[in-house]
Structure 1
Amino acid sequence: MKSLKYHFLSLIFIILCFNCSNEAAEKEETNGLDSKNYYQELNISYGNDNHQKFDLYLPANRNLNTKTIVLIHGGGWTSGDKEDMNPIKDLLRIDFPDIAVANINYRLADTNNKAYPMQIEDISSVINYLKNNKEKYTISENIGFIGTSAGAHLSLLWSYAFDNDNNTNMVCSIVGPTNFTDPAYLNSASTELQELLDLLGVNRTTPFLEEVSPYHQVTASAPPTILFYGGKDPLIPTTQGTDLRDRLEDLGVINQFTLYPNAGHGWVGLELLDTWTKLKIFINNHL
Structure 2
Amino acid sequence: MKYFKIVVLSIGLLTVSCSTQTPNTENTKNFREIKQEKRLSNIKYGSYERNVMDVYLPAGRTPKTAFLINIHGGAWTQGDKKDDGKLSEYLLSQGIAVANINYRYANSTDTHLSELLDDIDNVAKYLSSQSKKWNTRNVGFSISGGSSGAHVSLMYTYTKNSQIKAIIEMCGPVDFTDVQTLQYVKAAHLFGVLDKMSGNKVVWNSGDAIPEAYTETSPVKFVNQIPTMIIHGDKDEVVPIQQAYILENALKAKGANYKLVVVPGAGHLITKLPEDEQTVFTNMAEWLKKYGTN
TM-score normalised per structure 1: 0.81
Q: What is the rounded CA distance, in whole Å, between the counterparts of 2:130 and 2:80 in structure 1?
A: 24
State the partner residue of 2:133. 136
> In structure 2, what is the equivalent of residue 176 of structure 1?
172
Give yes or no for contact 2:66–2:289 (8 Å, CA) kept in 1: no
Output the CA distance in 2 between the equivalents of 1:32 and 1:100: 20
Backbone CA RMSD of aligned residues: 2.0
Aligned with 1:210 (options 205, 210, 215): 215
2:43: which partner in 1?
44
For 1:81-230, list aligned pairs within 5 A. 81-94=80-93, 96-97=94-95, 99-140=96-137, 141-164=139-162, 166=163, 168-188=164-184, 189-203=186-200, 206-219=211-224, 222-230=225-233
Aligned-partner Cα distance in 1 for 2:189–2:75: 10
Q: CA deviation at 1:261?
A: 4.7
Note the residue ranges of structure 1 that are not aligned, 5 or more in a row.
Answer: 1-30
Determine helix, strand or coil for the equivalent of 1:192: coil
* Aligned-partner SS, 2:190: helix
Equivalent position SS for 2:127: helix
Q: Which has the larger radius of gyration?
A: 2
Give the Cα–Cα distance (whole angstroms) in 1 for the partners of residues 261 and 75 of structure 2: 22
Distance in 2 between residues matched to 1:81 and 1:233, nearest whole Å: 21
Counterpart secondary structure, 1:169 = coil
Q: Distance in 1 between matches of 2:59 and 2:250?
A: 39
Superposed displacement of residue 145, structure 1: 1.5
Q: Would the aligned equivalents of 2:154 and 2:169 in 1 still touch at CA under 8 Å?
A: yes
Are the equivalent residues in 2 in contact too, given 1:146–1:172 (CA < 8 A)?
Answer: yes
2:237 to 234, 237, 240: 234
Q: Deviations over 1:145-172 (max 9, x none)?
A: 12111111111111111114x1x12111
Q: Post-superposition shift, 1:63?
A: 2.5
Separation in 1 of the partners of 2:56 and 2:280?
23
Q: Quote the offset at 1:191 in angstroms.
A: 4.6
The residue identity in structure 2 corresponding to 1:70 is I
Provide runs of 4+ in structure 1 moved above 6 Å: none
Contact 2:174 2:218 in 1 (8 A): yes
CA distance in 1, matches of 2:58, 2:279: 26
Report Cα offsets for 1:225-253 as digits up to 9, x if no partner. 11111223222122211010011001110
Aligned 8 A contact 1:36 1:62 in 2: yes
Go from structure 1 to structure 2 and tell me whether the alpha carbon gap of 1:218 and 1:277 turns closer, same or farther (over 3 Å shift). same
144-153 vs 40-49, greater mean Cα deviation: 40-49
Q: Which runs of 5+ in 2 are unaligned?
A: 1-27, 203-209
Q: Secondary structure at the match of 2:189?
A: helix
Cα distance in 2, alignment partners of residues 88 and 184 from structure 1: 32
How far has the Cα of 1:32 moved from its partner? 6.7
Partner of 2:255 in structure 1?
252
- Whole-Å separation in 2 of the counterparts to 1:69 and 1:32: 25
Letter aligned with residue 170 of structure 1? A
Identity of aligned residues (%): 30
TM-score by length of 2: 0.79
Q: Which amino acid aligns with 1:42?
A: S
1:117-155 CA deviation, whole Å, 9 max, x = no partner?
111110000001111221122111221112111111111
Could you tell me how far apart the structure 2 residues matched to 1:74 and 1:32 are?
A: 37
- CA shift, 1:286, in A, is 1.4
| Count of residues in Structure 1 that have an aligned counterpart in Structure 2 | 251
Deviations 1:243-268 (A, max 9, x none): 10011001110111122353221232
Kept after mapping to 2: 8 A contact 1:193/1:235: no
State the Cα distance separating 1:112 from its structure 2 match.
Answer: 2.7
Q: Per the alignment, do residues 264 and 131 of structure 1 end up closer, same or farther by CA in structure 2, a change over 3 Å counting?
A: same
